Amino acid sequence: MAASAFSEDRDFDFRADAATPPFLHVPIMTSATLHSDATRQQADAWRRQTSLRRFYTALGVGLLLVAMCATMWFADEANAGHFFDRLPHILDFLSWLVPKDWNDVWRALFDIASPSDKGTQEFNFPLGRVYVWGGFYIPEYFELMLTTVNVALVSTFIGFVFAVPFSFIAARNLTPSPILRLIVKRFMELLRAFPEIVIAGLFAAIVSIGPVAAIIAIGLHSIGALGKLFYEINENIDMRAEEGLRAVGANWFERVRFADLPQVLPNFMSYTLLRIEINVRISTIMGAVGGGGIGEELKLSISRGFGAKTLAMVLLLFVTIFLVDQFSAWLRRKLVGEQAFLMSA
């Protein structure tokens, strides 16, 4: 009886770590076989195992702490300003952020003329208006935000369109040819690991700096990222439908289209929506390094210390990302249920 409990402990790795609190010793003490040598030996072995485990845990945590302190020191040394030097001034940097007139934030957001406008760039809100129809205009930051979101959407679309066929080729159980599978898999790995910023830089030199280079960069990265998730889904599908179609002589395209795609499409969509969330963030960052959109303007505004403009953009960005996240979460819940939110370990 006790033996079975111990063997269970071995299977059940992390329990061994948890099973030593004083109040859990009780079952062992009342065990009828307590005095047999075999049991005592087992108990000793178990205790040794536990203490070894604890030692390793302590060692691991200790090493982690040492690494943390070392990296903190390194990061602080390498930084232009040091942490404890700058800490007292951290509120100074917040002080420029607080506008003299809070209404300027709204004015900046909607490009309404501000009374504090003295002809400087800090308050020239109406200059950014993008007129579309007579007196009707889109405020500058909304237009820029739209660019950023469009970059994310188009690049996710590119990623999706290429990742779907690639994922069927790269899935172990569906691949038309093992060699092709290897090539496609490696290719997707390369796309995923390749720094987006380099692709963006390369294409900025070819198609000119701006959103198109960002689309290409994020799109290529999305192919790799989505492709990997997709083929992992493909490898877990139910193969009976595929076998049925194979039995009636369907070719590879027909099998993929009618047996496999219907099974995986909801999951594909769910991951694509997740990718949209990520890509909105990346396209903002890409904007800051020349990819167009709100990132660039935000970077300028922060570096020049324009409080109202910065706050307006942060607000807009925050609301947009929040809305995109919530919408995508809602849609994913509709598509695949709660399952989409359990991260697989």
> Which residues 221-280 are close enough to bind another protein by CB under 8 A?
none
Among 43, 112, 212, 250, indicate the residue that binds another protein (CB under 8 A): 212
For the segment 291-310, give every residue that binds another protein (CB under 8 A). Answer: 295, 298-299, 302-303
Question: What are 69's two structure tokens?
Answer: 């302190």
CB-CB contact of 320 with 144 (8 Å): no
Nearest distance from C-beta of residue 211 to another protein, angstroms: 6
Q: Which is closer to another protein, CB of 40 or CB of 186?
A: 186
CA distances from 225 to 51, 72, 232, 342 (A): 42, 31, 11, 19
Look up residue 107 and give its two tokens. Answer: 């004015």
Q: Give 1 or 342: the residue with its C-beta nearer to another protein.
A: 342
Does residue number 5 form part of the binding site for another protein (CB under 8 A)? no
- Per CB under 8 A, the list member of 55, 56, 74, 330 interacting with another protein is 74
Give the separation between CA 139 and CA 143, rounded to whole angstroms. Answer: 6
Q: Is residue 132 a contact point for another protein (CB under 8 A)?
A: no
Cα–Cα distance measured from residue 290 to residue 197, given in angstroms and rounded to the nearest whole number: 10
According to CB under 8 A, which one of 205, 239, 253, 339 is a site residue for another protein?
205
Q: Binding of another protein at residue 172 (CB under 8 A)?
A: no
Residue from 201, 232, 246, 257 touching another protein (CB under 8 A): that is 201
Distance between the two ends of the chain, CA-based, in angstroms? 33
**Choice from 55, 202, 239, 337 touching another protein (CB under 8 A):** 202
With 0-12 / 13-18 / 19 or more C-beta atoms within 10 angstroms meaning exposed / middle / buried, residue 70 is exposed
| Identified binder of another protein from the candidate list 153, 241, 331, 335, rule CB under 8 A | 153
Footprint of another protein on 179-198 (CB under 8 A): 190, 193-198
**Identity at 71, one-letter amino acid code:** T
Q: Shortest approach of another protein to residue 80 CB, angstroms?
A: 3
343 lies in the site for another protein, by CB under 8 A: yes
Q: How far is CA 174 from the centre of its chain?
A: 28
120: contact with another protein by CB under 8 A: no
State which residue, 47 or 82, has the beta carbon closest to another protein: 82
Stretch that binds another protein, among 102-110, 172-180, 210-218, 234-242 (CB under 8 A): 210-218
Q: What angle do CA 253, 259, 260 make, to 5 degrees?
A: 80
**Contact yes or no for 279/222 (Cβ under 8 A):** yes
Does 52 interact with another protein (rule: CB under 8 A)? Answer: no
Rounded to 5 degrees, φ, ψ at 3 are: -60, -40
DSSP state for residue 337 in the 8-state scheme: G
Neighbours of 339 (CB within 10 A): 13
Min. distance of Cβ 87 from another protein in angstroms?
9
Nearer to another protein, 112 or 329 (CB): 329
If binding is defined by CB under 8 A, does position 99 make contact with another protein?
no
CB atoms within 10 A of CB 165: 14
Which position among 55, 102, 318, 330 is part of the footprint of another protein (CB under 8 A)?
318
Q: Does 15 bind another protein (CB under 8 A)?
A: yes
Taking the complex as a whole, the smallest distance from the CB of residue 36 to another protein amounts, in Å, to 27
Q: How far apart are CA 184 and CA 168, in angstroms?
A: 10
Angle made by CA atoms 342, 194, 323, in degrees to the nearest 5: 45
Window 26 to 45, contacts with another protein (CB under 8 A): none
Radius of gyration, alpha carbons of the chain? 29
Write down the least CB distance from residue 237 to another protein, Å: 19
The residue within the footprint of another protein, chosen from 56, 253, 322, 330 (CB under 8 A), is 322
What is the token pair recorded at 34? 């307590």
| Binding footprint of another protein, residue count (CB under 8 A) | 75
